[in-house]
Amino acid sequence: MNLLLISNSTNAGEAYLQYPINQIASFLKNIDEVVFIPYAAITFSYAEYEAKVQNRFNEIGVKVRSIHRSKDPRKMIREAKAICVGGGNTFALTKKMQEQGLMKAILRKIKEGTPYVGWSAGSNVTCPTICTTNDMPIVQPESFKAIGAVKFQINPHYLDANPEGHAGETREQRIQEYIVANPRRWVVGLREGCMLHLSDGKLELIGSRPMRIFKNGIEPYEVKAGDDLSFLL
């Protein structure tokens, strides 16, 4: 499998997809067209999302074809040169993907080696479940099951602390709840500006910030770019 799983689309003060576009360009080398899944969009249309991504992908010479325009979405996946899944609301994305039978279709396709790029919610859905998303369940999918391309869970946009004056649970406390309830599962806290690249059976962290590792019975710890992540595979 060849996956590029990005924590966030936009760093503070930057334009949309500005920071990861060079990495995406390298990842999609020699590919001139991607099938885009825009179903995480809520407050703007799928067509607007397609145009937004296309505007950035014009810089790298890649055509964006949104799956919402297809009468046969699974066929579009089967014929895709590469697949991109955008961020937004993970529950809305999951619901629509499940309704169209895209989870299994995408898993089959990426197991054949088709490149997959996802950011935020698009990274969440490569996990076994969407249970470590940060999003509000504004709609109800058939289940929390996702593509299952990787064996671990991702928490994108991972934050280390709560805002000043907020007495609620920290992100780490929420993840600790998850690993107690799901003791066999690893969770990675993927900070903004970072991404994971899986290729040829090797998982690599890309970015200047460390990634936080969670597993029931183990004290959370940090890994950095270049560290061995084979334990997650």
The residues carrying an active-site annotation are 120, 135, 157
* Contact of 232 with 126, CB cutoff 8 Å: no
